[in-house]
């Protein structure tokens, strides 16, 4: 017997402030006496800094100070948390400094800062700083960077190699390819993306000199980790001397996980100028100074038998890390990429080698899906390429190779480094999606359209992903991971009045965590979600947590909350037994009440129990006052959502324009706490993934200038680009955690990119076009159609 909060699409608790303009984002905060910082950024992608003259800028009325890297020589480089390639990357080498000194390795690197009374003055003054640069040779392509003769970015990194990482069985994979009836080879480019959260980044720092304490507001998905990294690695002060707060956050999609130089710069400036300092990134700064995503150059070889059985997959990838290394940059194209290359299939032999390289481009790190979209793109394109090679239906090739329900827990031939897929029924989701799409009927429609000279296409992707990224013993594996844990925490306090306050180390930047977590509390304690307050995103008063990313907030942070609630319930049950004068073993706590088994009419409600626990004049012998508990949860495994997405497109023969006619998504994210929120996450993810397939791509010229450097030049999709989406769900509980939840934040972006590319190539198959690289812009498609016809 439980209340029905879990599984209910209730309206979000956070929305009233957001629909009325009451939500306070970072830029809305304006501390008394704050001055504004504006950063001068390098116009060169690779150059030596010869000199910087700040005199004219400093003389402008209203300017408080002008600073360069020379002023912060005492601050070390930022840390990189991910020690891939057996510790080959030392912790603070080739990472950003608060301002660069000596050389710059990408366009947009910060070289000086103006602090002024207002932002308009600071912008004026930045234009008066004179910098002399000596331009150096530039390389922007991940693969070319590793070739002999390429410009060298860092003396300590010969060949521009960040790491050379591998997983799987190379010899076995070679023999699996040799045994195959056919081997399909393909070069695949997974282009660079610019994440574009609607709110850019920002920071406000204050320093109290007598207490030697910093208060730092920042646009962060992981405030506790920011405080740890800043105090322990950059400032060398005790954690107790810094408080980090994430106010309302306007989206992040991964980019707000990381420690950026500006956050440290603004913090240092607050002490230097003795006033609160505010920095808010402009959108054009955001395009160069905030991390990018993806950017892989990959060669695949996939072996298959004539019946479609895949025998082996061999993958070689060059991953672009940018001019400097971001906080977890090297971890994305390694652990979160190579280890997923089995997809939803029983592939007997897999080998993956990834070379990460420095290039004269912005830093690359996690962007929604982070490694897993790149892996899914490889696998789902590979399956379609095999089907095309053998003249088989891509759906049947998927069926032929699926991991079956009885195969779980499934070990994908060791590439997951000890972990196993938790649960799934891939064919069920596939069949539901095929039914929704009318797959069988589509082929008729398609051939009729082709007879009329129209190009319709259908594309399928049956994906898996890794969510709830955690087990500390896995992600922290020396030489393979962060060298850190990834557990989460939650504290539950049931106040005297029966109202519940939860503090969590997890964080929300738009996902509706305050609602979802309140539903977990409501379900377990039998209270209304209106009576639950979820406090997060402030290191003062919340327990430590690693933050929000990797679709882990509910699967890790939510389970910490669940576990803490079980302990609170148990105490409530024991207190209830005392008040009911019954033996504790005879009393249960269900549906918000403690009662003797079989006698629910004579019960003590959670409100009565909370009051009794808080007033404390009648407690069982030895029981502490108050209903309060904290749990720390480190899961035994990740979780593995899955599903099938189907896209139906029409390609215009006249213009090459791809129109997305229908998009069907069947996702299994485990048990759903709030299906409305889950669907919203999937809608947004689909859109970002479709955008990669069709429209988005960061473009650098040969001089390292970001050509797609503003919202005018980079195609963030608009409402008119898209149809309404058709969603379905299967619900396979995860056995990993007691709530059976998996994670929903990234499935859409992981599944949709290959779905749409497969659909377009299905449409173009009559023209003999086997593969095109993304984005499938009208120009690229039109040229391919006309070249192939010529």
Partner 1 sequence: MKQSVTINVNGQTRTQEVEPRLLLVHLLRDGLGLTGTNVGCDTSQCGACTVLLDGEAVKSCTVLAVQADGSDVTTIEGLATNGALHPMQQAFWEKHGLQCGFCTPGMIMAAADLLKRNPHPTEDEIRHGLEGNLCRCTGYHNIVRAVQHAADAMSA
For residues 782 and 790, give the distance between their C-alpha atoms in angstroms, rounded to a whole number.
Answer: 12
Q: Which of 485, 680, 733, 778 contacts partner 1 by CB under 8 A?
A: 680
Tokens of 558: 């939510």
If one asks whether residue 452 binds partner 1 (CB under 8 A), the answer comes out as: no
Q: Does 27 bind partner 1 (CB under 8 A)?
A: yes
CA distance 682 to 672: 13
Residue 305 interacts with partner 1 (CB under 8 A)? no
Residue selected from 551, 688, 737, 758 as contacting partner 1 according to rule CB under 8 A? 688
Instruction: Report if residue 343 touches partner 1, rule: CB under 8 A.
Output: no
Q: Which of 3, 23, 175, 399 binds partner 1 (CB under 8 A)?
A: 23
Stretch that binds partner 1, among 449-457, 464-472, 563-571, 714-722 (CB under 8 A): 714-722
Alpha-carbon gap, residue 231 to 241, rounded angstroms = 8
**Selected binder of partner 1 within 88, 283, 399, 567 (CB under 8 A):** 283
Return the residues of window 576-595 that contact partner 1 according to CB under 8 A.
Answer: none
Peptide linkage before 425 cis (omega within 30 of 0):
no
Binds partner 1 by CB under 8 A, chosen from 205, 242, 245, 249: 249
Q: Does 21 help bind partner 1 (rule: CB under 8 A)?
A: yes
Under 8 Å between Cβ of 676 and 9:
yes
26 class by beta-carbon count within 10 Å (0-12 exposed, 13-18 middle, 19+ buried): buried
Q: Is 197 in the site for partner 1 (CB under 8 A)?
A: yes
| Dist CA 253 CA 272 (whole Å) | 33
CA dihedral over 131, 136, 141, 146, signed as positive or negative: negative
Which part of the chain contacts partner 1 (CB under 8 A), choosing from 21-29, 38-46, 345-353, 543-551? 21-29
The answer to the question of residue 11 lying near partner 1 (CB under 8 A) is yes
Using CB under 8 A as the binding criterion, the count of chain residues that bind partner 1 stands at 57
Q: Does 19 bind partner 1 (CB under 8 A)?
A: yes
> Nearer Cβ to partner 1, position 509 or 645?
509
Residue 47 CB, nearest approach to partner 1 (Å): 25
Which uninterrupted H or E stretch holds 463? strand 455-464
Which of 18, 305, 657, 661 binds partner 1 (CB under 8 A)? It is 18
Q: Is 198 in the site for partner 1 (CB under 8 A)?
A: yes
Per CB under 8 A, 496 contacts partner 1? no
How many Cα atoms are found within 13 Å in the side-chain-facing hemisphere of 579? 25
* Comparison of 120 and 786: residue with beta carbon closer to partner 1: 120
Judged by CB under 8 A, which stretch of 20-28, 227-235, 265-273, 520-528 contacts partner 1?
20-28
Cα–Cα distance, 425 to 217 (Å, whole number):
44
SS (H, E, C) 246-315: CCECCCCCCCCCCCCHHHHHHHHHHHHHCCCEEEECCHHHHHHHCCEEEEEEEEEEEEECCCCCEEEEEE
- Smaller CB separation from partner 1, 17 or 306: 17
CB 385 within 8 A of CB 182: no
Q: Is 656 in the site for partner 1 (CB under 8 A)?
A: no
Per CB under 8 A, contacts with partner 1 among 412-441 are none
Least separation in angstroms between residue 636's CB and partner 1 is 31
DSSP state string for 50-118:
EEEE-HHHHHSTTEEEEEEGGGGTTSPPPP----HHHHTS-TTSS---SS--SEE-STT-EEEEEEESS
Residue closer to partner 1, measured from CB, 157 or 682: 682
Q: Is 190:115 a contact under the CB 8 Å cutoff?
A: no
Nearest to 563 by CA among 512, 500, 490, 493: 490
> Residue 663 Cβ, how far from partner 1 at the closest point, in Å?
9
Q: Which one, 365 or 524, has the nearer CB to partner 1?
A: 365
| DSSP string over 643-677 | EEEEEEEEE-TTT--EEEEEEEEEEE-BS-S-HHH
- 233, 253, 410, 482: residue in contact with partner 1 (rule CB under 8 A): 253
Residue 272 tokens, joined: 């230097």
Omega prior to 236 cis, within 30 of 0 = no
Q: Please, what is the minimum distance in Å from the beta carbon of residue 170 to partner 1?
A: 40
Tell me the pairing of strands 587-590 and 725-729: unpaired
Binding letters toward partner 1, positions 716-735, x by CB under 8 A: x-xxx-x-xx----------
- The DSSP bridge pattern shows strands 110-116 and 293-304 to be unpaired
In the complex, minimum distance from the CB of residue 19 to partner 1, in angstroms, rounded to a whole number? 4
Q: What is the closest distance, in whole angstroms, from the C-beta atom of residue 486 to partner 1 in the complex?
A: 24
Tokens coding 337: 């990429």
| CA 604 vs CA 492, 498, 571, 610, 624: distances in Å | 19, 12, 13, 10, 19
Q: Name the phi and psi angles at 493, rounded to 5.
A: -125, 120
If one asks whether residue 378 binds partner 1 (CB under 8 A), the answer comes out as no
Using alpha carbons only, give the angle 260, 263, 264 rounded to the nearest 5 degrees: 95
Which distant-in-sequence residues (6+ apart) come within 8 Å of 471 by Cβ? 419, 486, 634, 635, 636, 637, 638
Least distance CB 710 / partner 1 (angstroms): 5
**CB nearer partner 1, residue 24 or residue 602:** 24
3-state secondary structure (DSSP) of residue 294: strand
712 binds partner 1 (CB under 8 A): yes
Q: Least separation, in Å, of the C-beta of 745 and partner 1?
A: 11
Of 133 and 463, nearer to partner 1 (C-beta) is 463
Q: C-alpha angle 697/698/700, rounded to 5°? A: 135
Residue closer to partner 1, measured from CB, 504 or 508: 508
What strands, in cross-sheet order, belong to the sheet with 642-651? Answer: 455-464, 642-651, 658-668, 725-729
Subset of residues 71 to 130 that bind partner 1, contact rule: CB under 8 A: 120
State which of residues 3, 53, 170, 282 lies at the interface with partner 1 (CB under 8 A). Answer: 282
* CA proximity to 104, closest of 39, 44, 156: 44
Angstrom CA distances, 558 to 253, 369, 370, stand at 19, 20, 21
655 binds partner 1 (CB under 8 A): no
11 vs 48, beta carbon nearer partner 1 = 11
Q: Are 242 and 205 in contact (CB under 8 A)?
A: no
- Nearest partner of 266 among 333, 338, 330, 218, judged by Cα: 218
108: left (phi over 0), alpha (psi -120 to 50) or beta: left
Please pick, from the candidates 46, 509, 569, 574, the single residue that binds partner 1 as defined by CB under 8 A: 509
Nearer to partner 1, 491 or 508 (CB): 508
For partner 1, the binding residue among 94, 105, 220, 248 (CB under 8 A) is 248
Residue 767 in the binding site for partner 1 (CB under 8 A): no
For partner 1, which stretch binds (CB under 8 A), given 103-111, 129-137, 180-188, 280-288?
280-288
Contact 508, 537 (CB under 8 A): yes
Question: Considering the rule CB under 8 A, would residue 196 count as an interface residue with partner 1?
Answer: yes
Tell which one of 52, 686, 750, 751 touches partner 1 (CB under 8 A).
Answer: 686
Under rule CB under 8 A, residue 476 binds partner 1: no
Using the rule CB under 8 A, which residue among 2, 7, 24, 586 binds partner 1? 24
Q: Which is nearer to partner 1, 512 or 697 (CB)?
A: 512
Between residues 175 and 528, which has the closer beta carbon with respect to partner 1? 528
Question: Which residue's CB is nearer to partner 1, number 24 or number 48?
Answer: 24
C-beta closer to partner 1: residue 141 or 281: 281
List residues near partner 1 by CB under 8 A: 11-12, 14-25, 27-28, 30, 120, 196-200, 248-251, 253, 282-284, 509-512, 676-677, 679-681, 683-688, 710-712, 716, 718-720, 722, 724-725, 748
């Amino acid at each position: 017997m439980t209340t029905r909060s879990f599984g209910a699409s209730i309206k979000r608790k956070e929305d009233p402030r957001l629909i009325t303009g009451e939500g306070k984002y970072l830029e809305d905060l304006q501390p008394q006496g704050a001055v504004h910082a504006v950063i001068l950024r390098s116009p060169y992608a690779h150059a030596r800094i010869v000199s910087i003259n700040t005199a004219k800028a400093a003389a402008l009325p209203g300017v408080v100070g002008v600073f360069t890297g020379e002023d912060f020589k005492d601050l070390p480089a930022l840390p990189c948390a991910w020690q891939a390639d057996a510790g080959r990357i030392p912790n603070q080498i080739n990472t950003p400094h608060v301002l660069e000194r000596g050389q710059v390795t990408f366009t947009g690197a910060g070289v000086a800062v103006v602090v002024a009374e207002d932002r308009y003055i600071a912008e004026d003054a930045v234009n008066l700083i004179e910098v002399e640069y000596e331009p150096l040779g530039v390389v922007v392509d991940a693969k070319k960077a590793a070739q002999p003769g390429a410009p060298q970015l860092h003396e300590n990194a010969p060949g521009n190699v960040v790491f050379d990482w591998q997983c799987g069985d190379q010899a076995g994979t070679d023999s699996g390819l040799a045994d195959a009836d056919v081997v399909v080879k393909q070069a695949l480019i997974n282009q660079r993306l610019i994440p574009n959260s609607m709110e850019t980044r920002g920071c406000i720092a204050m320093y109290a000199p007598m207490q030697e304490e910093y208060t730092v507001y920042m646009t962060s998905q992981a405030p506790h980790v920011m405080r740890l990294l800043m105090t322990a690695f950059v400032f060398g002060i005790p954690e107790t001397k810094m408080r980090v707060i994430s106010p309302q956050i306007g989206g992040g999609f991964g980019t707000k996980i990381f420690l950026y130089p500006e956050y440290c710069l603004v913090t240092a400036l607050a002490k230097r100028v003795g006033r609160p300092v505010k920095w808010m990134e402009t959108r054009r700064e955001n395009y160069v100074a905030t991390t990018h995503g993806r950017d892989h150059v990959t060669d695949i070889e996939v072996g298959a038998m004539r019946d479609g059985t895949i025998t082996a997959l061999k993958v070689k990838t060059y991953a672009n890390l940018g001019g400097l290394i971001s906080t977890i940059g090297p971890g994305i194209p390694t652990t979160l990429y190579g280890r997923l290359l089995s997809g939803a299939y029983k592939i007997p032999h897999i080998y993956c080698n990834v070379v990460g390289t420095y290039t004269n481009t912005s830093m690359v790190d996690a962007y929604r899906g982070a490694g897993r979209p790149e892996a899914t793109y490889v696998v789902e394109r590979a399956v379609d390429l095999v089907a095309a090679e053998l003249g088989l239906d891509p759906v049947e090739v998927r069926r032929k190779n699926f991991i079956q329900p009885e195969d779980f827990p499934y070990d994908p031939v060791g590439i997951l480094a000890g972990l196993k897929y938790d649960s799934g029924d891939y064919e069920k989701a596939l069949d539901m999606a095929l039914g929704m799409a009318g797959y069988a009927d589509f082929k008729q429609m398609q051939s009729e359209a082709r007879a009329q000279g129209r190009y319709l296409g259908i594309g399928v992707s049956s994906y898996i992903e890794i969510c709830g990224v955690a087990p500390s013993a896995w992600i922290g594996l020396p030489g393979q991971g962060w060298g850190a844990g990834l557990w989460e925490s939650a504290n539950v306090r049931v106040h005297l009045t029966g109202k519940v306050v939860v503090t969590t180390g997890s964080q929300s930047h738009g996902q509706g965590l305050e609602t979802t977590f309140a539903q977990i509390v409501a379900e377990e304690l039998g209270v209304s979600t209106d009576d639950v307050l979820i406090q997060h995103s402030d290191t003062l008063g919340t327990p430590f947590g690693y933050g929000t990313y990797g679709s882990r907030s509910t699967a890790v942070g939510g389970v910490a909350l669940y576990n803490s609630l079980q302990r609170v319930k148990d105490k409530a049950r024991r207190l209830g037994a005392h008040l009911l004068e019954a033996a504790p073993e005879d009393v249960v706590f269900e549906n918000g009440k403690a009662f003797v088994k079989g006698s629910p009419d004579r019960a003590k409600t959670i409100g009565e129990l909370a009051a009794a626990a808080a007033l404390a004049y009648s407690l069982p012998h030895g029981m502490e006052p108050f209903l309060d508990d904290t749990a720390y949860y480190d899961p035994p495994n990740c979780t593995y959502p899955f599903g099938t997405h189907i896209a139906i497109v029409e390609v215009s023969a006249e213009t090459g324009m791809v129109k997305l006619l229908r998009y069907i998504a069947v996702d299994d994210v485990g048990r759903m706490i709030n299906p409305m929120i889950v669907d919203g996450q999937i809608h947004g993810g689909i859109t970002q993934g479709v955008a990669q397939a069709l429209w988005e791509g960061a473009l650098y010229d040969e001089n390292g200038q970001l050509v797609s450097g503003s919202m005018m030049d980079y195609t963030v999709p608009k409402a008119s680009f898209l149809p309404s989406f058709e969603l379905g769900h299967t619900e396979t509980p995860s056995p990993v955690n007691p709530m059976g939840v998996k994670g929903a934040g990234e499935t859409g972006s992981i599944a949709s990119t290959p779905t749409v590319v497969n659909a377009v190539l299905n449409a173009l198959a009559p023209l003999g076009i086997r593969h095109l690289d993304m984005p499938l812009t009208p120009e690229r498609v039109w040229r391919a159609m006309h070249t192939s016809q010529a």
